[in-house]
Structure 1
Amino acid sequence: MSASYILKRIALIFYTLFIVSLLVFGITQVLPADAAVMMLGENATTEALEALRNSMGLNDPIWMQYLRWIGGVVQGDFGTSLRTGQPVGPALFSALGTSLTLAVFSLTFMLALALPMGVVAAIRRGKATDLFVSFLSYIGVALPEFVTATLAVLFIADWWGILPPAGYVPLSQNPVEGLRHLVLPVVVVSIIMIAHVSRMVRSELVDVLHTDYIRAAHLKGLSRGRILLRHGLRNALLPAITIVALDVGYLLGGVIVVEEIFSIPGIGRALMAAIQARDLPVIQAGVLIMAATYSIVNFAADLIYAWLDKRIQYD
C-alpha cells in the first residue's frame, strides 16, 4: 500500500466530514427549534430573546454561523448544550467511549463465536452441524434487538437474578461490576452480528475450499489445519471484514433501543435525547463525531484487506 494512497484516503475522510458538516448544519437550521427560547424559556420577553440571539450570533447570515461553528470544531470546541448548559465535547466523547466499550466487547464476542461457527458449518456442509448453525443464524436475524433484550432482562435478570437488569458501571471504576453490567447488552447486540458474519464466513469458505489452489495445497501434502487456517480462512475473511466495518456504524448509532433498555449512556442514547429536546449543538457535534469514527473504521478495514490479501494493491 503506497503512501500516496494513504494520503488520498485521509484527504477523503476530511472531505467526507466537510460534506457531513454542511448537511447536518443545514438540516439543524430548518428544525423547529429556537436556541434563545430554549435557553430563556417561553415566558421570556421579546427584548430578552432578541438580545440573546444577537449575542449568540443567531441573527447573522447562515454562512457566517457555519464558519464560526466549524472554526470552533477545528479547535476542539463543539459549543454548549442548550439543554444542560455544559460544553458539548466532553459529554459526547464520554458517551462515545461508552459506546466504543460496548462495541469492542460485542465485536470480540461476536468474532469468538461467528468464526468457529462459520468454519464448522463450511467443513460440515450439508450435514446436521451445518443445518444447526444455519437455523441459529436465521433465528438471530429474525429476532429484533428489543425482543432479545426484553427476553434477556425478563429471564436472566429478573427471574433468575444472575445479572443486573440495567445500568452501566465504568470499567475503570469497578471492573467486575462493569463486566457484569455489560454481559447482557453485549450478548443482545452480538446476536444479529453473529448470524450475519457466521453465514458470510460459511458461504465464502465453502467457495474457497473448492478452488484450484486449495486442491494444489492438498496435493503438496500440507495438513488440513494449515490449509484451512492459512489459505482458506484468510481469503474467506475478506468479505466478513466489510460486514464487521459496517457493523461498527450500527453499533455506534443503531443500538439506541439496547442502550435505552439497559440504561447505557452511549452516544446513540445521547443523540436521541438531543433530538427530542431540539438540542442543536449536541445533534451537530454528535453526527459529526459518529461520521468521523465510521470513516476511520472503514479506512482501517481497507488496511486489513491489504494485509490479508497481498494481491490487493491500492494506488
Structure 2
Amino acid sequence: MGHPILNLVAQRIALGLLLLFLASGLIFIGTQILPGDVAQSILGQSATPEAVANLRKELGLNDPAYVRYFKWLAGVLQGDLGTALSNGKSIAEGISTRLQNTLFLASWAAAFSVPLAVILGLLAVQYRNRWPDKLISGVSLASISLPEFFIGYLLIYFVSVQLGWFPSVAILNETMTLGEKLNAITLPVIVLTMVVLAHMMRMTRAAILNVMQSAYIETAELKGLNPFTVIRKHAFPNAIAPIVNVVMINLAYLVVGVVIVEVIFVYPGMGQYLVDHVSKRDVPVVQACALIFASVYISLNIIADIVSIVANPRLRHPK
C-alpha cells in the first residue's frame, strides 16, 4: 500500500490522460461532422469531380473515420501534428512560434494578475464590510460584467488612439528587445488581467472568510494577534487549496481563452493562427490547435489538483 498522496497523484494523472484521450476523440469527431467537403473547399467550386476524388484519395479521406482518427493520434504521439492543407507546411513548425507568443502573453498577464488578486483578496478580508472591501468588490464585479472584446476596444480608443501611450496592434518579431515586446503587449495584458483578476480575487476573499469561521482563528484573535497577522499566518495557508484551484483555472483561461484578445489586437499567437485557419477550413490545423488547448487546460487542472492534495496536512501526515 503506497503513500496516500502518491496514490491520489497517480489517480489524477491517469484521469488526466484519460480525459485527454476522450478530448482528442471529441475534437476529431467535431471536425469531421462539419458541413461541406474538405477537398472541395481546397480546390474551389470550379474543380472537376475527378480532381476532387483524387485529392480525397491523396488526403486519405476515403478511409473509415476510425482509421483516420488512429492514424492522426499515432502521429500526434510521435510529435507529428500533420501538414497544413492551406500551405503544405508542417503544422508543428507553424505552431511553435505562435505557441511561444501565446505563452509569453499569458505568462505576463499571470505575473500581474495572480499576486494582485491575492493581495486584493487579503485587503478585502482585512477591511471586510468597510469601504475598501466594497470598492474592491464593486470594481471586480464591473470588470466581470464587461466582455473582454469591449474592454479591449475601450482601451484601444482611449489609451492608444486618444492618448497614444501604447500601440493598438500587438505585433512581435524576433528583432525586438524585451522592452519593445512588453510595450507591444501592454494593452492585451491589461485586458487579460482585468478579465481573470476579479474571479481570482473574489475566490481568495471567499476562501479566507470561510476559514475565518474556524475555532483556531478565534483562538489566535483572543491571543491578541494583529488581524492582518491572523489572516496572513493562520487563515491564508489553510485557504490555499481552493485559491490554487481557481488560479489554475484562470491560468488555463489565459492560454485557452486568449483567442478573442489575440484577434482584437492582431497578436501573432495561437488564437489568431486558429481563427485564420478556421476561415480556410484547414481541418488538420484546427485539430492540432484544439488538442494543444485541451492539453494545456487539462494539465493545469491536474497541477491544481496535485497542489491541493499536497497542501492538505491530513494527507501529508497520515496516521
Assess same fold via TM > 0.5: yes
The residue aligned with 2:27 is 24
Aligned partner of 1:246 among 212, 234, 249? 249
Cα deviation for residue 145 of structure 1 reads 1.0
Q: Normalized against structure 2, the TM-score is what? A: 0.90
Letter in structure 1 aligned against 2:125: A
Match for residue 104 of structure 1? 107
Q: Which amino acid in 1 is paired with 2:204? A: V
Equivalent positions of 1:1-315 (< 5 A) are: 2-169=5-172, 173-220=176-223, 224-312=227-315
CA distance in 1, matches of 2:296, 2:239: 26
Q: CA deviation at 1:25?
A: 1.2
In the TM superposition, residue 170 of structure 1 has moved relative to its aligned partner by 5.3
Contact 2:5/2:309 (CA < 8 Å) preserved in 1? Answer: no
Q: Cα deviation per residue 1:227-282 (whole Å; 9 max; x = unaligned)? A: 32222112233222222222233222323221111111222222222222211001
State the 1:177 CA deviation.
0.7
Structure 1 residue 41 displacement after superposition: 3.4
Q: CA deviation at 1:138?
A: 1.5
- Once residues 74 and 314 of structure 1 are traced to their aligned partners in structure 2, the CA distance between those partners, rounded to angstroms, is 38
Distance 1:127 1:171 in 2: 49
Deviates more, 1:251-260 or 1:129-138: 251-260
3-state SS of the aligned residue for 1:2?
helix
Count of aligned residue pairs for this structure pair: 315
Question: In 1, distance between residues paired with 2:74 and 2:145?
Answer: 45
The whole-number CA distance in structure 2 between the counterparts of 1:35 and 1:188 is: 36
Cα shift at 1:84: 2.3
Cα deviation for residue 112 of structure 1 reads 2.5
Structure 2 CA distance for aligned equivalents of residues 33 and 93 of structure 1: 29
User: How far does residue 98 in structure 1 lie from its aligned partner after superposition?
Assistant: 1.8
For the residues of structure 2 that align with 1:307 and 1:221, how far apart are their CA atoms?
31
- State the one-letter code of the partner of 2:61: L
**Structure 2 residue identity aligned to 1:199:** R
Distance 2:242 2:178 in 1: 34
Deviates more, 1:153-162 or 1:300-309: 300-309
Q: Give the 3 Å change call, closer, same or farther, for CA 210–18 of structure 1 in structure 2.
A: closer
Q: Distance in 1 between matches of 2:93 and 2:229?
A: 48
Q: Relative to 1, partners in 2 of residues 1:288 and 1:140: Cα closer, same or farther, differing over 3 Å?
A: same
Structure 1 residue 226 displacement after superposition? 4.1
- State the one-letter code of the partner of 1:27: G
Amino acid at match of 1:104: S
Q: How far 1:90 sits from its partner (Å)?
A: 2.3
Q: Which amino acid aligns with 1:125?
A: R
Contact 2:172/2:268 (8 A) holds in 1: no
Contact 2:5 2:310 in 1 (8 A): no
Counterpart-to-counterpart distance in 2, 1:251 and 1:39: 33
Call closer, same or farther: CA 1:16–1:314 in 2, change over 3 Å: farther
Q: 1:27 Cα shift?
A: 1.9
Mapped to 2, the partners of 1:165 and 1:291 lie a distance apart of 29
Q: Structure 1: any 5+ residue segments left out of the alignment?
A: none
CA distance in 1 between partners of 2:174 and 2:199 (Å): 29
- The 3 A distance-change label for structure 1 pair 97 and 161 is same
Further displaced range: 39-48 or 58-67:
39-48
Give the 3 Å change call, closer, same or farther, for CA 276–39 of structure 1 in structure 2.
closer
The answer to whether the Cα contact below 8 Å between 1:35 and 1:82 also exists between their aligned partners in 2 is no
Structure 2 unmatched ranges of 5 or more: none
CA distance in 1, matches of 2:52, 2:300: 43
Please say if residues 160 and 167 of structure 2, whose CA atoms lie closer than 8 Å, have aligned partners that are also in contact: yes
